[in-house]
Amino acid sequence: MKKEFLDLGQQPIANKFLYWEEVNGDTDTEEFFFDLKVVFDEETNLVSLKEFVKPELMFNEDYKYNTSLSVPMVEHFKKTAELMKELRNDYGYKTDNVLEIGSNDGPFVSNFENAVCVEPCDNFVEKTEELGYKTYNAFWTTELAENIVNEFGKMDLIYSANCICHIQDLDDCFQAVKNTLSEKGMFVFEDPSLLRMMERGSYDQIYDEHAHVFSVLALKKILARNDLQIFRVDDLSHIHGGSNRIYVRRMNINSNMFDASGSVFEAIRQEKEFGLDKFETYKVFANRVEKSKKDLVEKLNQYKKEGKKVASYGATSKSTTVFNYCDIGTDLIDLISDTTPDKIGLYAPGSHIPVKNRSEVNILDYDVLFLGAWNFKDTIANKEQEFIKKGGKFLTHVPQVMEFS
Ligand code: TYD
């Protein structure tokens, strides 16, 4: 049975930054909102959105997240690709036939000579095609998997980062993986960790795209019913605010794929210790989220009373959840500073706070910067030393509402 534990109110498409005309009512289309409620499945322990949003509304040619523009993420994917090559001997798979699900603009596949990509956002398809990789402009389904196997044969390595948690029908997704994976093939995927989210109080990991927030516990059960088995988990606490890299093989095969360090056992032990298998834990989390909202709004109102100038740093999907849940608009935050060309000049979903180019914002005019991109806290604090020296403060809600400098 699925039990609801959290209600984050009416939310827009988190990554759909709006044009001036859309905000100022010159177009016929009203902004789309949905009820962001979160449920816990007692049978599988999976945490998911109660109401899913139609994938086509989120993943289309307007999708504004070019991974290749993020230096730390490009570096991460390069290192991950190197690791995948290094592990070939240990685990006995090949990298002749590599498939990436959700290849974005190609920072992972570009480290391989041959690869096949799957990507529903048209704007990215062109990029990986230009790099010379066959790219299927489609969602990952059993139907698509069949076409890929017919054209390219089975895959030795299937990789996916920050994409599997977007897929609403996980059984279809994992069946598609099973049907595509070669006998000794390996499936590796990275997604935000439920444990880290719960520990850090980072409820803003929850938004339309994240149909699920994964625990290893839940994945183990859902993969098993699709004849797949987790054999290793890497803890990526610095990626996207805390992620897991999950290594999967076919169930019941004779293979070298096992992890002597017992990482799967350890990940599950930690999750159970935290109580991720119990509904009560989620009720405690929901109370913490409510308190976080109260504290953040109080703090911002206090700044306003004191006449302090406040901006936000990083136009993230995560901050869409925070601003809409806490009902924060231009009355409390003047603007969002960002470096992404596609977001600059647009308005944040729901809150309509304008997004301005970092190079055109005089950060020193501001007293407080809310960290919309708290997952890059250190990078940002290092970059903005001058702001700190001048007495500026950063404000974050992770792990609780607090200032720092
Ligand atoms: P991201 O971490 O991908 O968040 P989400 O997945 O929630 O959308 O987004 C980070 C955003 O922050 C991105 O738009 C780029 C911006 N950013 C800056 O403007 N300056 C910086 O120094 C950093 C690190 C990020």
pLDDT at 246: 98
The CATH code of the domain that includes 328 is 3.40.50.720
For a pocket test of ligand 1, which of 340, 361, 374 has the largest count of ligand atoms closer than 8 A to its C-beta?
340
Last residue in a domain, options 233, 256, 276: 276
Q: Please name the residue that has the structure tokens 């599997």.
A: 164
- Ligand 1 atom nearest 240 alpha carbon: 2
Residues 149 and 92 in one domain: yes
pLDDT digits (tens, 9 = 90+) for 57-107: 999 888 877 888 888 899 999 999 999 999 999 999 999 999 999 999 999
362-378 burial code (b ≥16 CB/10 A, e <16): ebeebbbbbbbbbbbbe
What confidence score (pLDDT) does residue 328 get? 98
* Residue 342 CA, ligand 1 centroid: distance in Å: 12
Distance from the CA of 315 to the center of ligand 1, in angstroms? Answer: 6
Residue whose Cα lies nearest atom 1 of ligand 1: it is: 316
Alpha helix stretches (DSSP H) within 306-405 = 317-325, 377-383, 385-389
Do 378 and 394 share a structural domain?
A: yes
Cα–Cα distance for residue pair 13/216, rounded to 1 Å: 27
Counting as low any pLDDT under 50, the low residues of the chain are: none
Looking at the structure, tell me whether residues 56 and 91 fall in a common domain: yes
Atom of ligand 1 nearest to the CA of 376: 24
297 and 255 in a common domain: no
> Residue 265's pLDDT is what?
97
Domain boundary (247, 276, 305) is at 276
* Domain tally, the chain: 2
Q: In whole angstroms, what is the distance from residue 140 CA to residue 120 CA?
A: 8
Residue 73 near residue 148, CB atoms below 8 Å: no
Contacts of 388 (CB under 8 A, 6+ apart): 381, 394, 405
Give the residue from 245, 276, 307 where a domain finishes: 276
Give the ligand 1 atom nearest the CA of 70. Answer: 15
Residue 37 has a pLDDT of 98
First to last CA, the chain: 45
Q: Are residues 173 and 256 in the same domain?
A: yes
Task: Write the CA distances from 364 to 240, 335, 361, 368, integer angstroms.
Answer: 27, 14, 9, 10
Q: In what order do the strands lie in the sheet with 34-41?
A: 2-11, 34-41, 47-49, 212-213
Q: In this predicted structure, what is the pLDDT of residue 177?
A: 98
| Residue among 367, 139, 403, 213 nearest 295 (CA) | 403
Name the 3-class secondary structure at 183. Answer: strand
| Contact present, 74 and 107 (Cβ < 8 Å) | yes
Determine the Cα angle at 198 with ends 194 and 201, to 5°: 130
The confidence score (pLDDT) of residue 385 equals: 96
Domain of residue 323: give its range.
Answer: 2-39+280-404
226 CA → ligand 1 middle, Å: 35
